[in-house]
Every structure is written in C-alpha cells, then in structure tokens.
Amino acid sequence: MITIDGSYLEGGGQIVRTAVSLSAITKKPVKIINIRKNRKNPGLSNQHIACVAAVSKICNAKVEGLIKGSETLVFYPGKIISKNFEIDIKTAGSISLVIQSILPISLAIDKNVEITIIGGTNVEFSPPIDYIKNITLKFLENIGINSEITILKRGFFPKGGGIVKITIKPSKINPYELIENENIEIKGIVFNQNLDENISKRIRKSASDELLNRGFCPEIKLEKINGESAGVGIFLYTNYIGSDRLGKKGLLSEAVGTTASEKLLEELNTKMAIDSHLADQIIPFMPFSDITIGVSKITNHTLTNIYVVEKFFDVKFNIEKYEEKNANGYIISTKGV
C-alpha cells in the first residue's frame, strides 16, 4: 500500500484528489495521512468527500475514513466500470475540483461515462468551470484526452445549486511539447446570475480598457442568467492561459475587471505557453507519455502533485529554468526519465 503525507508542501485537498484518481487507474491501494493537517479546518470537507465518492463510484472502491473532518483516508480501488452517475456536493463546493479527480480515469474506462455534478461552478480558491471547459479540456485534447462539459446552471457561494455534466471518453495519451505562447487572441465572459446587468457592463468595460491600453483587443461576452444563487464575475483567457475574478459585496465592479486583466497580463508577460494553474492539472497525465510544457512559474500546487505522482509511478520529473529572448519561465518534462 502506498502511504502519502497529506500535509506535504501545499498540504491541501489536491493531494487527496490526485491520490485517489491515480489509485483507481493503477489499482494500487493508498493511505493518506495528515489530510489538510495545517489548515484552519483540517481534514476532509464536503467537497473532498464528493471527489472521493465520484472516483470510488467509477472503480467500485472500498473506502475507510470518508467522513467530514477525517485526517486519514484509506482507498482500496476495485474494478473500473463505465457507468453514468450523479454526484451532489450538497454545498457550493467546487465542481471543477471534482472534475479534476475524474479526468485521469478516462485512461482506464472502456466506454463513455456521463457524470452530473451539483455544487459550485464559480467559487473562490478553485478554478471556475469556465477554466476547465476552455483551457483544461482544450489542452488535454492535444495529448489525447477527449472530454466534454455542459454547464446547465451556475452555482455561487453559499447556496450553490450549479449543475454541470461531463462526459469522459476512453483515451490514450500521446507525446506532446509546447513551450512558448503564440497567436494571442483574448476572449472572455462576464457571468451574472440574479444581479443588476449594469454590474456586468462595468466589469467588462474596466477589463477591456486595461487590455486595450496594453495593445490587445479582447472579445468579452456578457451572460445574464437566473438560478438558485446570486453571483457575478469575469473569466478571461487565451490559448492555455486564464484569469478570473469574482465580484463580492463591497468590491467595486471596476476592480473586478481590472484585477482579472492584470492577472492575465502578468501571465502573458512571461511568454510561456501554460499558466501556473494549468501546470499542476497536467502533472497526473505526464507519466503516460513524453510530455514537455513551458510554464510561467512553479507553484507549491505543482510540486505537491509531482510528489503524489512520483509515489505511484517509477518516474522523475525534470524542472528547468527557461530564458529565451523575451520568454522567462520553466520547463517541466518527463522526457528521458
């Protein structure tokens, strides 16, 4: 049995998500200790439980310690069965993070699996569902992972109520290399549920003004919808680089748009192909083929995922500083290991 320290580096729920996913694929049991040990509310939350439940449904796992607040989890994977199902996080917990747990299992299924997930689509401290749909899945398609997402309803904190359907398809990973960013066309969306439409317009204007001042001509759409919860925010992206900001009470709409644009520009300034958020999402797929990516920076999230992946596979990741012309970042690869 593989034992993983859940307090390593970033010490968050990502360790749990990656570990159970790889356990399902490799059929190696895993024990995770010290889960979120150094966090304000240590142990498993509803969102982490939903991730484990989703993976366990696919691989018929036996799980010990799957209760809120548990700091130890033991996961015994069974036979993977390609079946459709639904997962309700029961809070505004991130749907995107559940999807991150599920995606690698496309490497082990024998037919399409459709999963309906209920929870939060756009919440703090996790990628918005727009990021997963427009960046994560787009990149994974290049290496052979073909999945589809349909956003049926958006869900915001604290009510949630978002509904997303994801279809994962049997996949095999191909070699791939992508270092620098090229052909930049900035797109975006301002999503608004149950709030004044003028808020959206102010967010879009401030974001557009910031980007126009830097020589870009963004295409930012407005989305006005109704749902169980109220919320507003912006998501900007180009190729495999994204930025987002949620609105909240007391925060000027102009600050929401400007901050999102500034974050995107910061990533673009490195000239690297992949942003720091996508990098850690790619790591679990890299042991299956020769993959080389150029990233803007190395985060603890990325290093944490490397730690977990190296526990399951006889592989070592190479991280090198990259400085070429105006580009400045890092290269992560599994070539030659």
Residue range 59-103, pLDDT digits in tens: 999 999 999 999 999 999 999 999 999 999 999 999 999 999 999
Residue 91 gets which letter from DSSP? S
The CATH homologous superfamily of the domain defined by 187-268: RNA 3'-terminal phosphate cyclase, insert domain (3.30.360.20)
- Give the pLDDT confidence of 112-145 residue by residue, as tens digits: 999 999 999 999 999 999 999 999 999 999 999 9
If one compares 51 and 335, the residue with the highest pLDDT of the two is: 51
Residue of 301, 312, 322, 330 with catalytic role? 301
- Give the pLDDT confidence of 305-325 residue by residue, as tens digits: 999 999 999 999 999 999 988
CA 327 to chain centre: 25
- Answer yes or no: 48 catalytic: no
Query: Considering the chain, what is the average pLDDT of its residues?
Result: 95
Domain extent listing, the chain: 2-178+273-333, 187-268
Q: How confident is the model at residue 336 (pLDDT cuts 50, 70, 90)?
A: very low
> What is the model's pTM?
0.95
Specify the 3-state DSSP secondary structure of 122: coil
Q: How confident is the model at residue 28 (pLDDT cuts 50, 70, 90)?
A: very high
Is residue 100 part of an annotated ligand binding site? yes
Is residue 14 part of an annotated ligand binding site? no
Is residue 48 part of an annotated ligand binding site? no
269 has a pLDDT exceeding 50: yes
Is residue 279 part of an annotated ligand binding site? yes
Q: How confident is the model at residue 335 (pLDDT cuts 50, 70, 90)?
A: low
CA distance 276 to 292: 15
Class of domain 2-178+273-333: alpha beta
The pair of structure tokens assigned to 13 is 């729920």
Other beta carbons less than 10 A from residue 36's beta carbon: 22
Q: Residue 25: how many CA atoms within 13 Å on its side-chain side?
A: 24
